[in-house]
Structure 1
Amino acid sequence: PRLKGDVMAVWRDIARNGGYRFSAYYNIGRDGEIMKRHPEWNRIKANGKPYDRMLCYHSGVAEAYLWPMIEEIMDRYEPDGFWFDGSCFTVNVCYCGKCRSRFHREQGLDAPERPEDEGWAEYKEMQRQIYREFIRRTTDRIKQRDPDCLVAVNWAYSLMMPEEPYRRIDYLTGDRGNSVAVLSQEAHWYDSASKPFDLMTTIFLRNASGLAPKPAEQIQQEMAIIIANGGRYFAWDNPTSTSGLSQERHEFLADAVAPFLRARQKWCLQSERVPDVSLLYSAASHYAVGNESTRVFPPGNYMRPVTEVLCRAHLNYEMISDHRLRALDIRSPLLIVANPELIDSQNAQALRRYVAGEGTVLITGKGLKFEGLAELVGLELLSDPVGSEDWTVKIDDRSFGFRNQLHRTRPAGAGVLLSAKDKQGRQYPLFTEYRVGKSRALCALLPLFAQPEKQGEVPGAVLSYVLQKSMPPEERLVVTDAPETVEVVLRQRNKYYFLHLVNRAPGKRDSARSQWSQPYQRITDIPTAPRCHVSIKSPSKPVAVRLEPQGVNLDSWAYKNGRIEADVPEFQIHQILVMRTATEGAK
């Protein structure tokens, strides 16, 4: 009601006159006003009550409202792209008449209302399929009218929907607000897909007087994580009540955000990760983990313990989707299958083909109980865990006690690298290796990377031992003595290596208010990352080694035994070591 004139036209003209792309924001899932007028378009709970502001894409809302609105925007404003919000994370199981009827038609069952009801998994899969169809049809309609119009859907094909992106989606995107802890995992996943991506964080925090810029070091830490992992940074600011801009916050963009990004742009864009390890992130397992939730695309938080361990160990990892696994598109020497909730027959077959092709795999936790995988790792499964038990393991003449769930097995070709004793003194394999030719199948019989409060304890010595044996330091592409709070990312473009060092030290953290239920954090006093040594595997001696964005040659380096040995000075947030080699490729 406070808007005067055609705001879309105003911003379109400003963008055109300034030589910028004009992209339209459209929330296609949380239109509260239209839901009041047309309650039949809302998602309905099993009890017959509506969800709060969640559209059902099988209700007819797309045909009657969303698509005509998109066409009107295209005709009147000719946007260069659409950024669609409010859909993927609002898709809960819907019990409207149309959803119930489709399920009965396809499955011959009434719509299940609880996870224990017959057809629950199938009902959730139907809801996922409805969403996939909506995204594809929406994208196709836009491309039919304007093939060059860019389409992105917030959080579609993200960790909550770990599927192969629809081919006509132009880029992947997600808004994380103020959650620096999860940015790295999200960036790794998007970087492993076949599309460009960006991640968005707010440039503001909320205080007693309204919105104020974040501390510069906080937003620079967020930006560094995103761009080091191959993404573009998307700055999130809220307009004023009259669709204007905050001068204070946009001066902050000019002073703290743009210079940081522009100084690093040359060394980040169009590069590819060179991973030390690959981590399977399966849609089948992900959806099985979230099976009891009404959310059709549940959060991907359960993998964070794994990714955090790999980051702290300075193991530069890629994430592998079902699609890439089945295509055997694995670009590192080691594939990790971490405590999967489900391995379907196609993935089990792909794992067997991968190992048969001289691959190395590390399977942990529940992975052993699925189709043929005990045979793959050379073990005979005696019994599944019945719960957490007390165990003792000895490493280098030191005993470690722990409480966890352990599969009881006996070797059927595998060698036992570590054993564990139960309270009765009975000994069982804890960590094994099965070699056939050049292939290696490693197995940790406990949920090695799982959250302790959910699965049990894992002694640090066991974790270190498994990682050392699975990927020995001398075989890694990057080895460093940097603190575990420094994230290490190796990327390449043609004859260039780019080693990114990102200081993820927590600094001082204070709670700040937000417009959502969870509080924001204000991060200050991030300590300087100390001087460190890095060792990078390289096929040839570099022509030059430089520190960027400073633009200075690094003098303290040498090339020995096929590795670049360099001392990196202390740095504040993000340091890039740029190495130009005489030959292309980093293998």
Structure 2
Amino acid sequence: MIRLFMSIFLLSAMAAAQNYDKTKVPQGNWYGDDTYFGYEYDMHANANDKDFGSAISVEYLVELFKMAGCDLLQTDTKGHEGLVSWYSKTPAASIAPGISKEMVDVWVKAGNELGIPCQAHYSGIFDMAAGEKFPDWNAVNADGEPVNGKMCPISPYADQLLIPQAKELISRYGVSAIWVDGEIWAVVPCYCDKCSSEYKKRYDSAPPRAKEDESWADWIEFTRDSFQEYVTHYADEIHSFSPDTRVCSNWLHSFRNPGCPWVPTDYISGDNLGTLSHPNNACHARFMSTRQRPWEIVLWGFYYNKNAPWIMKPLEMMQQQASQIIAFGGNINIYNQPKGHRDGRLVDWHMKRIGELGRFIKARKDVCQHTQTIPNAVILHSEYDFYSQKSNNIWEYKTQHLEGALAAMIDNSIPTDIMDEWALIDRIGEFPLVIAPSQENVSERAVEALKKYVSNGGRLIVTGPEMYDTLGGEFLGVESVALNNAHSYHIPAGGERLPLSSHGHQGGAWTEVEIFPWREVKPTTAKGFAPLTTTLFDEDKTDYFAATINRVGKGAVAYIPCDVMTYYYNCRYSTLRSFAAEVVAKLDPDFSYEIQAPAAVETVLRRKGDARYVHMLNRASGMPVFENIMGSQQPPASGPVSIKIKLDKRPESVKLLFESGNMQWKYTPEGEGGILSALIPSVHIHSVLEIKQGI
């Protein structure tokens, strides 16, 4: 019977996926502009609960939700333990033993009283109870052992549990959406008979057993396809049952899942872990904003320092993190889960703090919603290169080269976007600067696009030793001599020199770090600068350069034959930051915006109608440096920020929004247009320079 269900599910899931053009983006379905700031409280019911939901009532929740000022609710229905916190009638259900009140029922009713939609948090692929009750639903590892709690995407799980329970939550309780957690990041490659058989049909071979196998990338691609077919199947079934109910799969079509966002969910969402949310937001928000779909980021409202318990985040920390999301046009959902009690009570001072955060966010809504990027610099995040990595699964890919490249740009006050090939290639000519960090397995189409972009006048930065083979020595203007894996090279910048490895340093008294391979090249048509040395002394120069620049057609390409962006991700040393700035300056891209600010201030360029916006986000922390500290507190103001903008004509108005300060500006005619110069003394959390030019 299990095999019959699996065959039926596989056929229906494949058929559902075949109904969609995987090169087209389906229409999204968000709630509207007035739904901007949400509140999530999922408790992941477990076997030890005794008074789950006992302390809540509709009246109690209404007062606290008013305090929080939220526009959207999201409540617990099933966590990763797989126990539902309501009395499901689905035969395959596992019901938590300690339910006092069905939280979803009370939450939806409180939301209805306030006119606020309420979503269901529901753990999908990650379901421990289903794995114990139905062992055949578990994924199977390469040794033939079940991976308990991680569902096989083509098992009967969706048809016998997820879809029936979603229909219950809609028909019995009236939830507005099914937000499916424990999804793309929980999927594991499955070697069950059905998956193995289907893989063989598609690839004409048995699944590989180890990452060293040449077909491993095909195996992970099959796993990703199976997962996306599973999501497509349950999304279609839910939409067929209730067209107005929204469906979201956590982190699907996000930064770690590049490529055309074709799966028919209604919006894109992901929850950012407490202490990691600040740096991750920088990449996720930029990438999600290019998906042509409604999107949000669920920001964890609590965090921890090392060797300490979880606590509620300070208000200013949440404001800093939220600013990185709303600046790119995203919606915000705050996830809060007070520790130490399981009866559903909400902490009043937590709710007041969330209310303060909501007021901060909503004050910026008109400026942030429905904006588009102003092309400046962009990082290529090639889906072809990304998926060529030999990852353990469909989530754990290396991203340090991308995150480091972004950090190197925004730490130098260069507003920068992130786009995959799907989003970038057709509009690459709009960007004065493109960065391709260690992207050796980009598609042939991308190689052609990059070369044409440079020939037509673009400026390109390429990093990584393998990129020599990808783009060719003729285009880069260099000749390869050797690949050095044991060098002690030092990069000059800002009057200093920076070692790229600990090779040759004193033994145990010094930290040993990874050596980043260096492709030793000699210029042919390119010009080299920043000569490498083997020590900190100028007299120990080598025949090689830290970077070369080759003029191609109307443009130029800079080549740094080492993965310096991952190195910068690891260290954030100011010397390497200066080196990155020098490379950009040598290329001399035709930027319309020139910004000088402290490294702590991130700048974002957006536009809407006749208005241009320069967002200034202060990422500083007021805490002293200490290795256990994992989040910011009491951020000091950072500044000054100097902004120069090329304009066609004198602006109608120039304003500093959201923070007070003696901003000064002037417009200087120059050529056929002019230069707007503005000086902002400091930024506390998030301020915006608004420039209106008129029609």
* Normalised-by-shorter TM-score class: 0.7 to 0.9
Query: C-alpha distance in 2, partners of 1:157/1:301?
Result: 19
**Equivalent in the alignment of 2:412:** 313
The residue matched to 2:484 in structure 1 has which SS? coil
Query: C-alpha distance in 2, partners of 1:146/1:510?
Result: 52
**Equivalent in the alignment of 2:655:** 546
**Equivalent in the alignment of 2:621:** 506
Query: C-alpha distance in 2, partners of 1:102/1:271?
Result: 44
Q: Cα offset for 1:466?
A: 0.7
Q: Cα offset for 1:368?
A: 2.6
Deviations 1:129-187 (A, max 9, x none): 11121122222223333333322221111222122212633322111131223221221
The share of aligned pairs that are identical, in percent, is 23
1:546 and 1:554 in contact (8 A); partners too: no
1:510 and 1:523 in contact (8 A); partners too: no
Query: C-alpha distance in 2, partners of 1:147/1:35?
Result: 30
Query: C-alpha distance in 2, partners of 1:579/1:554?
Result: 16
Q: Does 1:192 align with 2:290?
A: yes
Q: Which amino acid in 2 is paired with 1:559?
A: Y
**Equivalent in the alignment of 2:357:** 257
The residue matched to 1:64 in structure 2 has which SS? helix
**Equivalent in the alignment of 2:111:** 15
**Equivalent in the alignment of 2:510:** none
Which of 550, 563, 567 is residue 434 of structure 1 equivalent to? 550
Deviations 1:76-102 (A, max 9, x none): 334332211110101122222222222
Q: How does 1:568-587 map to 2 (within 5 A)?
A: 568-583=680-695
1:171 and 1:197 in contact (8 A); partners too: yes
Q: Does 1:447 align with 2:563?
A: yes
**Equivalent in the alignment of 2:76:** none
The residue matched to 1:526 in structure 2 has which SS? coil
**Greater share of strand residues, 1 or 2?**
1
Structure 1 window deviating more from structure 2 (153-162 vs 407-416): it is 407-416
Q: Does 1:378 align with 2:477?
A: yes
Q: Does 1:488 align with 2:603?
A: yes
**Equivalent in the alignment of 1:92:** 188
Query: C-alpha distance in 2, partners of 1:43/1:381?
Result: 46
Structure 1 window deviating more from structure 2 (261-270 vs 537-546): it is 537-546
Q: Does 1:267 align with 2:367?
A: yes
Distance 1:3 1:244, change over 3 A: farther
Which of 448, 458, 470 is residue 587 of structure 2 equivalent to? 470
Q: Cα offset for 1:121?
A: 1.8
Deviations 1:163-215 (A, max 9, x none): 22126333221111312232212212212322232112222357999875321
Q: Cα offset for 1:52?
A: 4.6
Deviations 1:394-427 (A, max 9, x none): 7799877755633233445434445546799762
Structure 1 window deviating more from structure 2 (426-435 vs 489-498): it is 426-435
The residue matched to 2:559 in structure 1 has which SS? strand
Distance 1:115 1:399, change over 3 A: closer
**Equivalent in the alignment of 2:665:** 557
Q: Cα offset for 1:312?
A: 0.5
Deviations 1:241-289 (A, max 9, x none): 23443333222222x2111112111211111121321100112222334
Q: Cα offset for 1:227?
A: 1.4
**Equivalent in the alignment of 1:523:** 632
Q: Cα offset for 1:225?
A: 1.8
**Equivalent in the alignment of 2:209:** 113
RMSD: 3.3
2:661 and 2:682 in contact (8 A); partners too: no
1:28 and 1:86 in contact (8 A); partners too: yes
Q: Which amino acid in 2 is paired with 1:196?
A: P
Q: Which amino acid in 2 is paired with 1:146?
A: S
1:85 and 1:154 in contact (8 A); partners too: yes
**Equivalent in the alignment of 1:150:** 246
1:93 and 1:296 in contact (8 A); partners too: no
The TM-score normalised by the length of structure 2 is 0.75
Q: Cα offset for 1:353?
A: 3.7
**Equivalent in the alignment of 1:516:** none
Structure 1 window deviating more from structure 2 (191-200 vs 399-408): it is 399-408
Q: Which amino acid in 1 is paired with 2:666?
A: A
Distance 1:453 1:192, change over 3 A: closer
1:388 and 1:455 in contact (8 A); partners too: no
1:528 and 1:572 in contact (8 A); partners too: yes
Structure 1 window deviating more from structure 2 (561-570 vs 171-180): it is 561-570
Distance 1:104 1:538, change over 3 A: same
Q: Which amino acid in 2 is paired with 1:446?
A: C
Distance 1:533 1:33, change over 3 A: same
Q: Does 1:242 align with 2:343?
A: yes
Number of aligned pairs?
A: 571
Q: Cα offset for 1:440?
A: 2.4
Query: C-alpha distance in 1, partners of 2:361/2:226?
Result: 39
Q: Cα offset for 1:363?
A: 1.3
**Equivalent in the alignment of 1:43:** 139
Query: C-alpha distance in 2, partners of 1:379/1:527?
Result: 46
1:42 and 1:50 in contact (8 A); partners too: yes
The TM-score normalised by the length of structure 1 is 0.87
Structure 1 window deviating more from structure 2 (502-511 vs 191-200): it is 502-511
Q: Cα offset for 1:499?
A: 1.2
Which of 270, 279, 287 is residue 379 of structure 2 equivalent to? 279
Query: C-alpha distance in 2, partners of 1:411/1:72?
Result: 67
Structure 1 window deviating more from structure 2 (11-20 vs 402-411): it is 402-411
Query: C-alpha distance in 2, partners of 1:306/1:193?
Result: 21
Q: How does 1:333-482 map to 2 (within 5 A)?
A: 333-383=432-482, 385-391=483-489, 405-420=517-532, 427-451=543-567, 459=576, 461-471=578-588, 475-482=590-597
1:48 and 1:95 in contact (8 A); partners too: yes
The residue matched to 1:54 in structure 2 has which SS? strand
Q: Cα offset for 1:236?
A: 0.6
Distance 1:366 1:445, change over 3 A: closer
Deviations 1:416-457 (A, max 9, x none): 445546799762454333334323233222223222698999
**Equivalent in the alignment of 2:12:** none
Query: C-alpha distance in 1, partners of 2:262/2:394?
Result: 21
The residue matched to 2:632 in structure 1 has which SS? strand
Q: Cα offset for 1:315?
A: 0.9
**Equivalent in the alignment of 1:203:** 301
The residue matched to 2:332 in structure 1 has which SS? strand
**Equivalent in the alignment of 1:82:** 178
Query: C-alpha distance in 1, partners of 2:630/2:499?
Result: 37
Q: Which amino acid in 2 is paired with 1:557?
A: W
1:339 and 1:450 in contact (8 A); partners too: no
Structure 2: state its 5+ residue gaps. 1-96, 502-515
Q: How does 1:162-241 map to 2 (within 5 A)?
A: 162-166=258-262, 168-178=264-274, 179=276, 180-205=278-303, 213-238=312-337, 241=342
Query: C-alpha distance in 2, partners of 1:499/1:75?
Result: 46
Q: Cα offset for 1:366?
A: 3.1
